[in-house]
Amino acid sequence: MRQQQHRKRSYSNGAFRKRDRHDLICVICHAPAMGYNFDQITCESCKAFFRRNALQTSNRLKCRVGTNDCIITLETRK
């Protein structure tokens, strides 16, 4: 199997430039990301969470605080 390169092209100032995977930030917790998973840029931790819970019913995942408006960050994602 051929390994994908983690480079995407982005449009900036009328020209394309290559973007290294080091520029990627997880859209969930804002940690450094390694690539696209589940159609989103995610870090390895968030990728693992969504892979484990993708087929679970939504009532199994409960807000620990009870407000259902938690902000997920690198520090709070545990």
Superfamily of domain 1-51+64-78: Erythroid Transcription Factor GATA-1, subunit A (3.30.50.10)
Nearest partner of 45 among 58, 21, 64, 28, judged by Cα: 28
Q: Is 72 helix (H, G, I), strand (E, B) or coil?
A: coil
Of 54, 56, 48, the residue nearest 77 (C-alpha):
48
What is the domain partition of the chain in residue ranges? Answer: 1-51+64-78
Report the C-alpha gap between 50 and 38 in whole angstroms. 8
pLDDT surpasses 60 at 3: no
Beta bridge partners of 40: 37
Digit-coded pLDDT (tens) for 9-59: 444 455 544 555 568 999 989 999 989 988 899 999 999 988 888 777 767
